[in-house]
Structure 1
Amino acid sequence: MVQSQTPIDEQLRPFPDHTQLPESDGTFVKNFQEHPQSLLLTDSIEPVLQELHPDNHYAIGQDSGIYWRETDPPEKGAEAPDWFYVPGVPPRLDGKIRRSYVLWREYATPLIALEFASGNGAEERDKTPLQVVKGTVQKPGKFWVYEQIIRIPYYGIFVIDTGELEVYHWEDGTYERLSANDRGHYPINRMNVEIGVWRGTYLGQSEQAWLRWWDLNGNLLLTGKERAVIAQHDVEKERQRAEQERQQAEQERQRAEQERQRAEQEQQRAEQERQRAEKERQRAEQEQQRADQEQQKRQQLAAQLKEITPEQLQKLGIDPELLA
């Protein structure tokens, strides 16, 4: 009987967790767009994930390792997508920040992984399988690991230099390349979003192609800063609308005041006209009274003169013939 030469405590040693595995393989980030591109994707998808996971049970990795097998050294058994999302897992483990994602500890597969290709995408499309060549374990290609081992449902390759995007969907054990919809986007149905290429500026960089999310109706998912700018714009529009309403109300008040003053002036004019007419009436009445008085005086004088005899008239120097 052949006995194992491996000590029993080593045989029973549990698989390492994220705190016992390297969080980096020591390689450099391949281009300066990786970091802002990851931030852009994470920032804009956050409100959607909050709706999908009210309990906050989801994790986002950005150039973080996914350990899929034990190797020596350990980092050779990991792939580090530039961006990936795992639903249904806590963002921390035992209160500790995740240093990597270890499949043999959690078993939950990322729903989507994205690679930002610095070259032509050949490395990201590498389907080389895990195999031993001349006694040496050959490193498998990213595409093969994601498709055959981790089996990530959605895999995207974004070629930074050309702005081209390829999206694959895992079906029946293999990746099928998806066709873009009428908007040029690729629906990620379990996330209720679409992914596609958007041209614009972000974090001060010149206009270029970026990976962005849209909702299933084709509305661009905005970053926190973009939402804040729109909110500020809405506040300013509301302020301007309120100011316009205030000005309109003030103009209406002034118009009403002018109308009141016009009515008051019209009333004063009518009163002045009434007073003028009253004065005219009184003047005419006084004139009539004066004329009546003159008439009465003449009549009285005529009556008095009729009572005087011709002889008396002659004595007064009045020719009686003139009064005949």
Structure 2
Amino acid sequence: MTSTIEVAQTITTLPDHTQLPESDGTFVKNLQEHPQSILLTDSINPILQRRHPEGNYCIGQDSGIYWRLTDPPERGAEAPDWFYVPNVPPAIDGRMRRSYVLWQELISPLIVLEFVSGDGSEERDRTPLLRTIPEERKPGKFWIYENVIRPAFYGIYEVRLARIELYHLIEDRYQLVPANERGNYSIAPLEVELGIWQGRYQNVELPWLRWWDSQGNLLLTGAERAEQERQRAEQERQRAEQERQRAEQERQRAEQERQRAELAQSQLEQLRSQLRAAGIEPQV
């Protein structure tokens, strides 16, 4: 029987994020994937900052999650296009994480998202881990997420089809999350929804994967929030200018009324003078 001390010694000898490769040498297959990840991170950051005011959360973008020690090491890792882990710091000992090492943290991501470049079979592969030594086939991505990494939510975004499948881990099995009345998919722990937004981001018009709040309001990027504030400030400036113009018009009308009253009074005085000159005392 293995003692607790022996287990502890084994864990301490396992490599950490500084000792494991941060890349397997492959490259992103689709030019939309990188801005797509930035869009997701940028727009949800205010939500996560309110949820974690101390800053203890980690977001990975095409970064490795090590779930098993293998040779070579990168065979024991998955690199989701986007993932979020609550209650872990983004840096360790003053260094940004090179990867997320599951046996070091023991905290699963809340959300993992994969952007499909092919036909989606890789992201839906449920092939289990088959131990056939010396040759060992890597299990399917879906199986790894469902049985080992175990994020509460696993999303498959088919970029070409602008379609999402979102799975929720319930009783150790992934269940499809149905779309709500807005066509979005609810992620209740964060009080957000995931859906498709057709619009222009950076310099291209495409369907993009985006977040909404639970009331159906689109979560904006920093640039969108700044533009919204600029438009609001411009609207306030225009309203102030309209008020200034209305006040000026009122002032001009009042001045015209004053001048008309002065002219009428002057004409009346002239008439009185003419009547007196004719020996008639004016009655008014």
Normalising by structure 2, report the TM-score.
Answer: 0.93
Cα separation, 1, equivalents of 2:133 and 2:220 = 52
Cα separation, 2, equivalents of 1:133 and 1:69 = 16
Cα separation, 2, equivalents of 1:11 and 1:47 = 39
Aligned partner of 2:226 in structure 1 is: 228
Aligned partner of 1:63 in structure 2 is: 62
Aligned partner of 2:6 in structure 1 is: none
After superposition, the C-alpha distances for 1:157-190 in whole angstroms (9 at most, x for unaligned) are 0011111110000000100011100000011111
After superposition, the C-alpha distances for 1:222-248 in whole angstroms (9 at most, x for unaligned) are 111111111111111111111111111
- Aligned counterparts, 1:43-192, within 5 A: 43-133=42-132, 135-192=134-191
Q: Where in structure 2 are there 5+ consecutive unaligned residues?
A: 1-8
Cα separation, 2, equivalents of 1:173 and 1:11 = 27
Aligned partner of 1:42 in structure 2 is: 41
Aligned partner of 1:257 in structure 2 is: 255
Cα separation, 1, equivalents of 2:117 and 2:49 = 31
After superposition, the C-alpha distances for 1:22-53 in whole angstroms (9 at most, x for unaligned) are 00011111110110000110111111111111
4+ residue segments displaced more than 3 Å = 10-13
Per-residue deviation, 1:13: 5.9
- Structure 1 or 2, whichever has the larger Rg, is 1
What is the percentage of aligned positions where both structures have the same residue? 61
CA RMSD of aligned residues (A): 1.7
AA aligned to 1:227 is R
Cα separation, 1, equivalents of 2:224 and 2:191 = 21
Cα separation, 1, equivalents of 2:180 and 2:278 = 91
> Is the CA contact 2:56–2:88 (under 8 Å) kept in the aligned structure 1?
yes
Q: 1:11 to 1:88 in 2, by over 3 A?
A: closer
Per-residue deviation, 1:279: 2.0
> Is the CA contact 2:275–2:281 (under 8 Å) kept in the aligned structure 1?
no
Q: Where in structure 1 are there 5+ consecutive unaligned residues?
A: 1-9, 285-324
After superposition, the C-alpha distances for 1:44-84 in whole angstroms (9 at most, x for unaligned) are 11111111111111010000000011111111110000000
- Aligned counterparts, 1:194-205, within 5 A: 194-205=193-204
Q: 1:12 to 1:241 in 2, by over 3 A?
A: closer
SS in 2 for 1:55: coil
Normalising by structure 1, report the TM-score.
Answer: 0.82
AA aligned to 1:237 is Q
Q: 1:18 to 1:175 in 2, by over 3 A?
A: same
Per-residue deviation, 1:11: 6.5
AA aligned to 1:228 is A
Query: Number of residues paired by the alignment?
Result: 274
Q: 1:154 to 1:279 in 2, by over 3 A?
A: same
Cα separation, 2, equivalents of 1:87 and 1:276 = 95
